[in-house]
Structure 1
Amino acid sequence: MQLFLLSALTMCAFAANSILTRMAIDWGHIDPAGFALVRVGAGAIVLAVLVALRGGRLPLLRRNRIGGALSLAVYMIGFSLAYMTLDAGLGALILFGVVQITMFTYAALAGATPTKRQITGAVAAFAGLVIVLWPDGQSSTDIIGAGLMVLAGMGWAAYTIIGRTSGDPLAATSANFLLCLPFMLILPTFAGGHFTATGMLMAALCGGVTSGLGYALWYAVLTRLDGATAAVAQLSVPIIAILAGSLLLGEPLSLTLLLATALVLGGIAWALSAKSAPTGHR
């Protein structure tokens, strides 16, 4: 029961990243660049403190560290900019689908032979993304926002792939957050830099609590879960974000969105049921 509750709490934290980002940016509390900057800064502080409390060190000079920081920056920037136009639930669904499809594709290109179940699952998930992005005559997804979230998903997939060889994922994540900060500092110069106290607080919560503490909790939970269970558990994140977006932000629950969600998550679950697959957090 304790493991279930900890896993559920972690998934809620990941979903809250979408809710907090959409709420802060869409309600005009802070601009996307400022949100990304504060989020990364708060996350870097919290993660560094957690590593220090363990008596560990930040591996800033390890191999692939720059690649990890760059891919994290791509995710952070794309994620924040996308939520200028995307609903929280829709953004989470696009992000999750792109991350998993990208990782499946990478595994296949790296030489792993995909099974028929993995192929059909990936096709179903891709079809779900096409449905949710295709204009239906009544409403259409903002193509720029969707493209930015696709970019964020590819960035997070790359970050996850690069981080697979890390012996201490918490310390590696802390180092990557710290090295990601310089990229974030450049953004406000071009974006104008709109801050309010409320927006900064929401960004700090997203970075320090739902990201920093969320990742730390996830790494602790991962040691007690097998790969397949961990991957399937993450299927709940877009669902939580969609429901929370509807309840807290008044976002519509359209039939198209529900169908796309069923295809994306069902396809991924079908593919994962073949064997344990790589997982990532958001």
Structure 2
Amino acid sequence: MFNQKKASTVIATATALLAFAGNSVLCRLALAEREIDAGSFTVLRIIAGAVVLMLLWRVRECRAMDSKSGFRSNWLASTLLFTYALSFSYAYLSLDTGSGALILFGVVQLVLVLDSWRSGKRLAFTEICGVLVCFTGLVYLVLPSLSTPSAQGAALMVIAGLAWAGYTLVGYGSQLPLRDTAINFVLASPLIMLWMLIDYGDRYYSLTGVVYALLSGALASGIGYAIWYHAIKGLKTSTIGAVQLLVPIIASLGGVLFSNETLSVRLVVATGFVLGGLLIVVLQSHQGDVDSVKSKSS
């Protein structure tokens, strides 16, 4: 039964995936076109996210008159956020989009699957097949742009994938997504500022690069991650990993809609594979829930 809770999860998940795709596009535009350096981009991204989320949280807190939603630090989540954002930015200095996407989402999917096994939640054979179909579509999409990744870039993207998977798993326990995400960004801010003091690399920026970084932080990262923390409460681990494979597809479709890129046969076929694989995972997950309910009632 598609109840209100499930509808909320679907809407939140779709919105978060759109934000993730937008974030990838903004980061790629800023760094590939050398509008801003990776360190400055990450600093502005984290600080912008912290400011916007703190304002939204305070407004919500005042309206709800909720005295129980005070500041509760989570340094693990904040450190994972900092690690992901920094590694992601620097990795794309030496990786093409296709290689970066495969490494990032491959690592995230692998970590989430291993976590399911660790917790005793084995993936059904059908779910594994669905994930493989999704990966087939993603590989087919990025195949023309794939190149041998640099060792440094690949290592940084692996670190980014591990950090993002960890950040997602930490979010399972979030009861107040907006508050928790705001605090994560606030606590990540001094970490990224400390990094800037340690890193003596070249600093350069343009107005366009600054705007990209602020949009990435305030909208695509800050608000997008808060929505993601809300969405994953209603998703299974297998589904969480699979739905994120839609991000490169969404980013490519965004290029067709907003950058006058061509709607290629490759993109259509890849979209069909990813959507089909995701449907398999979701249907199997739903069937598992039904079987579980029947076994408990019998």
Both structures adopt the same fold (TM-score exceeding 0.5): yes
Give, in angstroms, the shift of residue 227 of structure 1: 2.8
The CA distance in 1 between the partners of 2:155 and 2:265, in whole Å, is 21
Task: Indicate the percent of aligned positions where both proteins have the same amino acid.
Answer: 36
Q: 2:149 — aligned with what?
A: 142
Q: 1:204 — aligned with what?
A: 214
What SS does the aligned partner of 2:259 have?
helix
Which structure 2 residue ranges, 5 or more long, are not aligned? 1-6, 289-298
Residue type of the partner of 2:248?
P
Give, in angstroms, the shift of residue 162 of structure 1: 1.3
CA shift in 2, pair 1:248/1:84, >3 Å: farther
Q: 1:59 — aligned with what?
A: 71
1:99 aligns with 2:105: no
1:188 aligns with 2:196: yes
1:237-248 → structure 2 map (5 Å cutoff): 237-245=247-255, 248=259
Q: 1:37 — aligned with what?
A: 43
CA shift in 2, pair 1:253/1:96, >3 Å: farther
Q: 1:22 — aligned with what?
A: 28
Select the residue among 161, 167, 190 that pairs with 1:153: 161
263-272 vs 180-189, greater mean Cα deviation: 263-272
Which structure 1 residue ranges, 5 or more long, are not aligned? 278-282
Select the residue among 123, 126, 130 that pairs with 1:114: 123
Across the aligned residues of Structure 1 and Structure 2, the Cα RMSD in angstroms comes to 3.9
Residue type of the partner of 1:150?
V
CA shift in 2, pair 1:166/1:21, >3 Å: same
The CA distance in 1 between the partners of 2:264 and 2:95, in whole Å, is 14
The CA distance in 2 between the partners of 1:113 and 1:139, in whole Å, is 32
108-117 vs 51-60, greater mean Cα deviation: 51-60
Select the residue among 57, 63, 84 that pairs with 1:75: 84
Contact residue 91 and residue 156 of structure 2 kept, 8 A: yes
Contact residue 69 and residue 179 of structure 1 kept, 8 A: yes
The CA distance in 2 between the partners of 1:39 and 1:68, in whole Å, is 17
**Higher normalized helix content (fraction of residues):** 2
Q: TM-score, normalised by structure 2?
A: 0.72
Structure 1 residue ranges, 4+ long, deviating more than 4 angstroms after superposition: 2-10, 87-90, 122-134, 216-220, 230-235, 249-255, 257-269
**Highest Rg: 1 or 2?**
2
Q: TM-score, normalised by structure 1?
A: 0.75
The CA distance in 2 between the partners of 1:49 and 1:105, in whole Å, is 37
